[in-house]
Chains A and B, each alone.
Chain A
Amino acid sequence: MTLADLEINQCAIIKQVGDLKPRLLEMGLIPGTSIRFIKRTPLGGPIEVKVRDFYLSIRLDDAKTILVTV
């Protein structure tokens, strides 16, 4: 399942990050990192997650390239 499929407040572990977003890796979204889904914005806008000690927003399409396990 992907990060975009998580429900609000659901926690998961990152399994694999898509190839296109090296910046996300540099920010610490590496495989094995815990992540919590915070919220969506209407009409398929960006989502917010909590990872490590910070809150991050990324586009929904990018979230779909991040595989997670619950």
Chain B
Amino acid sequence: MMQKLFWLQYNMKKPLIALIGNPNSGKTAIFNLLTGLSQKVSNYPGITIDKKNGSVSHHKTQFDLLDLPGTYSITPETIDEQIVSEQILAWIHNPELRPNAIVSVIDASNLSRNLFLTSQIAELGIPIIIALNMMDRVKAKNEDINMDALKKLFNAVAVVPMSAVKKMGVSALKDEICNSIDSDASNDRNVLNIPSEIESIISPITTFLDSHFKITTQILRAIALRLVTRDSASLGYRNLELLTNLEYIELKDIVSTCRDNLNEKGHSSNSIESILRYSWLDSQLTEKLITNKIDVKVKSKSETADEIITHPIFGPLIFLGILYFIFQSIFTWASAPMDFIDSTFAQLGAWLVNVLPSGLLRDLLVEGIIAGVGAILIFLPQIIILILFLCLLEDSGYMARVAFMMDNFMSRVGLHGRSVLPLMSGYACAIPGIMAARTIDSWRERLITILVLPLLSCSARLPVYTLLISAFIPSQTVLGIFNLQGLTMVTMYLLGTFTAFLIAKIFTKFIPQKGNSSFVMELPPYRIPMLRSVFNEVFQRAKAFLTDAGKIIMAISIVLWILASFPKMENGESVSIHESYAGRIGHAIEPVIEPLGYDWKIGIGLLTSFAAREVMVSTLATIYNVEESEDEFISIKDALKNDKKPDGSPTFTVLVALSLMVFYVYAAQCMATFAIVKNETNSWKWPMVMMVYMSLLAYFGALLVYQGGQFLGFA
């Protein structure tokens, strides 16, 4: 047990404060305001869920801050929420891990729902500070909240009115946190009164827990209530190995008997905790005049805006317009920095060639490492721009509307409304997209989203498409307005996208549904994104891309460099790429790829694409340079056009180019994606499934294009 709990431990030297709150409560904004730039984002072991830490120093007091993922309840529904749930369980069962205080972040304009979680947290025996965020909205509605009554209700150390957007209340919150640390406050009062009838029905659970753990009665009762209400509440006991398998089964049996007894007495067991807490909350809020009575008839500004934004006709049109704008920006804004990175690395390579003595080290540096780093950095501009847009759309509240509008279509093909954001990320790079699929609460839909996501043409395919299209597709106007080159490019993107939906539908037949699929999505009020949060997010995610994907791309670049430059001849000279290991592999696979119209040189390109697809372009450049062994650089486009097979026919035709592009649309060539899928699904099975189905699609898709094209008489 201790080992399992180890990762939930924390550097105990400084006082620890944890932030817990609902999604959309502004928790992360408050975290950013408190920690400034001192925060560290790391992953929870085994899963790539962000664990955000930061240290704060305020008037001589120093403390560490832990930001937990947003959740509506301690009982988990998604894997993000599972983290919160298990962290809290670890605190309950290991008092020395407990934070000095919990800051319960509340959206004050949405009081009762946010306080549900607070009422659960208030029973952990840990002092709580209630941060009433978004007070500006409450004031704007001419309402107020009785802070004193609220403080008494939850036995809180303090209630701090705040507005993260207006940067209001941050210092007061710091003061209260420091006070709670200094005063060594405790909190051992029960909040919720469980009716004696229900308490006696669930007492077998309390007795069982009491015999296994040393916990106070107030916490025991709260746990028992959660256990009897929902199955997922017990998951942590198994995952953290707090109970042995036998004990766990025993607990489940006891819980199940208690449920039957509750249902027999006319209490619906799976709603008992919610009903008790909300009935108590609703009555207390009214009785103690903490806030005005809720009136659902009140129409918010966001509701008015949504009359257009989620309108059945205008809504999808606006979404398409935004998509068009984003892609247009990615392609136009990113080109300058990408050219800059490209030329910088070329110059750096050329400079090293000049200053270093020729030899293995220089070759490794220039052709292996610098080429590898360049291959990673070149995508950063596009990824940053895309992540920036997605963060803006997410933080403004718009992405929730997109999920709402798209869920119907998405669920028909086996995906989910929440799949839209990951899929959109996939057009820049599959890796951030696959990571973003975590918010999908149903396992099957999350898995299918991950599996089909690499079919969307990421930015690494773009250089390959660009090269082949500009070399072999004539720039002519078709149907009066379309340029044939542009049309081919769009076709490749659409091919990937439609195939992704088709494959998703096919996967629904093979992947069984675990539990229920559901779409429960809050449509938060629109707000202007906080630049600080957005930049922070973009920075963290770009960094994650560079380190996670970068390591793999780098390693593969070096392996490929070895394959392309060895074996050495006896005098130490490099052999031609034709003779190298890579060349030999290219020759070896030639019979397999010949039906697709490719020769061994393209074979080497397919091989090197495993580092990153765009490496194909530089590989071809290397191959043609090496072969001609001339001093002047041959434009790769002309080289491709002029290359002849041994029989004198051209290597590349329009048909070969098309076949190759289709191959690139479908092929699973990115090892970094493979590694992330393994990470996110926690098994080798799913990356293998992805690899197999994509390779089959790529091979037979390209075969169909080449052989079909020849059959129809296109040369």
Contacts and interface: CB of A to CB of B under 8 A. Distances in A.
A11 B297 contact: yes
A62 B275 CA distance: 19
Given A21-B518, A23-B72, A26-B73, A39 B310 contact: yes
Contacts of A43: 408
A70 interface: no
Contact of B230 (A22, A27, A46): A22
30 contacts: A20-B518, A22-B270, A23-B72, A25-B270, A25-B271, A25-B274, A26-B274, A27-B113, A27-B116, A28-B113, A28-B274, A39-B310, A41-B312, A41-B404, A42-B312, A43-B408, A45-B408, A46-B417, A51-B296, A52-B112, A53-B110, A53-B294, A54-B522, A54-B523, A55-B522, A57-B403, A57-B404, A57-B519, A58-B520, A58-B521
A1 interface: no
B404 to A, nearest CB: 4
A5 to B, nearest CB: 17
Given A11-B296, A11-B297, A55-B303, A28 B523 contact: no
Contact of B274 (A22, A52, A57): A22
A7 to B, nearest CB: 14
B297 A36 contact: yes
Given A30-B279, A42-B408, A53-B112, A48 B271 contact: no
A55 B525 CA distance: 8
Contacts of B112: 28, 52-53
Interface residues of A, number: 39
B408 A44 contact: yes
A30 B113 CA distance: 11
Nearest to B78: A23
Contact of B271 (A22, A36, A57, A59): A22
A43 to B, nearest CB: 6
Contacts of B111: 53
Given A52-B110, A55-B303, A30 B271 contact: yes
Nearest to A26: B73
Given A19-B268, A22-B270, A54 B110 contact: yes
A53 B456 CA distance: 38
Interface in A1-47: 11, 17, 19-28, 30-36, 38-39, 41-46
Interface string B492-504: 0000000000000
Nearest to A31: B275
Contacts of A26: 72-73, 75, 116, 273-274
B270 A59 contact: no
Nearest to B293: A34
A33 B77 CA distance: 23
Contacts of A22: 75, 229-230, 270-271, 274
Interface of A: 11, 17, 19-28, 30-36, 38-39, 41-46, 48, 50-59, 62
A59 B275 contact: no
Nearest to B268: A19
B95 to A, nearest CB: 27
B405 interface: yes
A69 B466 CA distance: 61
Contact of A20 (B268, B405, B516, B519): B516
Contacts of B278: 28, 30, 33
For the complex of A and B, the 4 pairs showing the least CB-CB separation, nearest first, are A45-B408, A25-B274, A53-B110, A55-B523
A58 B516 CA distance: 13
B302 interface: yes
Given A26-B273, A28-B274, 7 more contacts: A20-B516, A20-B518, A23-B520, A25-B274, A27-B520, A48-B310, A54-B524
B270 to A, nearest CB: 5
Contacts of B400: 57
Contacts of A62: 518-520
B109 interface: yes
Contacts of B312: 41-42
Interface residues of B, number: 47
B516 to A, nearest CB: 6
A34 B294 contact: yes
Given A35-B296, A44-B408, A57 B521 contact: yes
Contacts of B73: 23, 26
Contacts of A44: 408
B296 A27 contact: no
Contacts of A53: 109-113, 294
B50 interface: no
Contacts of B275: 25, 30-31
A24 to B, nearest CB: 6
B407 interface: yes
A62 B110 CA distance: 23
Contact of A30 (B230, B274, B520): B274
Contact of B519 (A11, A34, A38, A58): A58
A56 B520 contact: yes
Nearest to A47: B404
Given A24-B520, A30-B275, A58-B520, A46 B407 contact: yes
Given A34-B296, A44-B408, A21 B109 contact: no
Contact of A59 (B72, B110, B518): B518
B303 A50 contact: yes
Contacts of A55: 300, 302-303, 522-524
A26 B274 CA distance: 5
Contacts of A38: 303, 306
Contacts of A41: 310, 312, 404-405, 407-408
Given A11-B296, A26-B73, A34-B294, A56 B274 contact: no
Contacts of B300: 55
B113 A23 contact: no
A46 B408 contact: yes
Contacts of A58: 518-521
B407 A45 contact: yes
A15 B496 CA distance: 47
B519 A59 contact: yes
B113 A46 contact: no
A18 B111 CA distance: 25
